A and B are shown apart, each in its own frame.
Chain A
Amino acid sequence: EAEVAQSPRYKITEKSQAVAFWCDPISGHATLYWYRQILGQGPELLVQFQDESVVDDSQLPKDRFSAERLKGVDSTLKIQPAELGDSAMYLCASSLWERKGGELFFGEGSRLTVL
């Protein structure tokens, strides 16, 4: 069964450094999401893509976070500079919304620790 791929699985960095996460959605899934999940909390949507276009980035801290999906397939989420409060799990999900009734498929996540 096809899966959403994410890397790296774990990342430890020092504050003020740059960090990047990569996501490869399930083939053919036009909608891609980046979520942030702080330990013990639910997922918070950071950015949503439809193909290569951003449809919602209202919760993305744009002074330090950026996201792109240049060819409408894989996507990169970048943080520069990282801050202590960015320590969290970063989850990527994809969806073939119309055919799957709104089901999201998640990757394993990238756990970020900022020291």
Chain B
Amino acid sequence: GDSVTQMEGPVTLSEEAFLTINCTYTATGYPSLFWYVQYPGEGLQLLLKATKADDKGSNKGFEATYRKETTSFHLEKGSVQVSDSAVYFCAINAGNNRKLIWGLGTSLAVNP
């Protein structure tokens, strides 16, 4: 079945460091791909998405490119800030049943 494998955390970085969080998926067909972010004590917010191969989603300095050949959707940011400290979830849609398949989440802590 469909699945998402996400880089394990926690990830700890210093401010202004480069961030990569890996995400790979298995799916039949061509899913849409998502990154959600969850700040402490809050619900999930969509960070970015891509709906077809080679699309690049971007928001708040974060980027991820839909790589069909490697079935990946890695999240990157060139210079992280303390305010980026959160848990990041990779997710794919699951075809016709209107469900998202979730990764386990990667906790990011950014130190000043």
Using CB atoms and an 8 Å cutoff, list the residues of chain A in contact with chain B: 6, 31, 41-43, 45, 48, 50, 55-56, 89, 91, 93, 95, 97, 101-109, 111
Of all A-B residue pairs in the complex, the 9 with the closest CB atoms, nearest first, are A102-B93, A106-B43, A109-B43, A106-B44, A97-B98, A102-B32, A42-B102, A108-B43, A101-B32
Interface size grouping (class) on chain B: 20 to 34
Q: B residues engaging A (CB < 8 A)?
A: 31-32, 34, 36, 41-46, 49, 51, 89, 93, 97-100, 102-105
Bound: A55/B94 CA distance, A: 14
The residue of chain A having its C-beta at the shortest distance from the C-beta of B42 within the complex is A108
Least CB distance from A39 to B in Å reads 10
Q: List 20 A-B contacts (CB under 8 A).
A: A6-B43, A41-B104, A42-B89, A42-B104, A43-B102, A55-B97, A55-B98, A91-B44, A101-B49, A101-B51, A102-B34, A102-B98, A102-B100, A103-B46, A104-B44, A105-B46, A106-B43, A106-B45, A108-B43, A109-B42
The complex places the Cα of A50 from the Cα of B45 at a distance, in Å, of 22
Q: Pick the contact of A42 from B45, B51, B103 — CB < 8 Å?
A: B103
Q: Please, which residue of chain A has its CB at the minimum distance from the CB of B6?
A: A42
Give Cα distance in the complex from A87 to B40, angstroms: 17
Interface contacts (Cβ under 8 Å), in number, total: 54
Please give me the residue from chain A that is nearest to B31 by CB atom: A102
Q: Would you call the interface of chain A mostly helix, strand, loop, or mixed? A: strand
Q: Which residues of B contact A56 (CB under 8 A)?
A: 97, 99
Q: Is there an interface contact between A31 and B98, defined as CB atoms closer than 8 Å?
A: yes
Q: How far is the CB of B66 from chain A (nearest CB, A)?
A: 12
State whether A48 touches B51 (Cβ < 8 A).
no
Give Cα A91–Cα B31 distance, bound, in whole angstroms: 23
Q: Which of A48, A55, A91, A97 contacts B43 (CB 8 A)?
A: A91
Assembly CA distance A106 to B34 (angstroms): 14
The answer, among B44, B46, B93, B97, for a CB contact under 8 Å with A43, is: B44
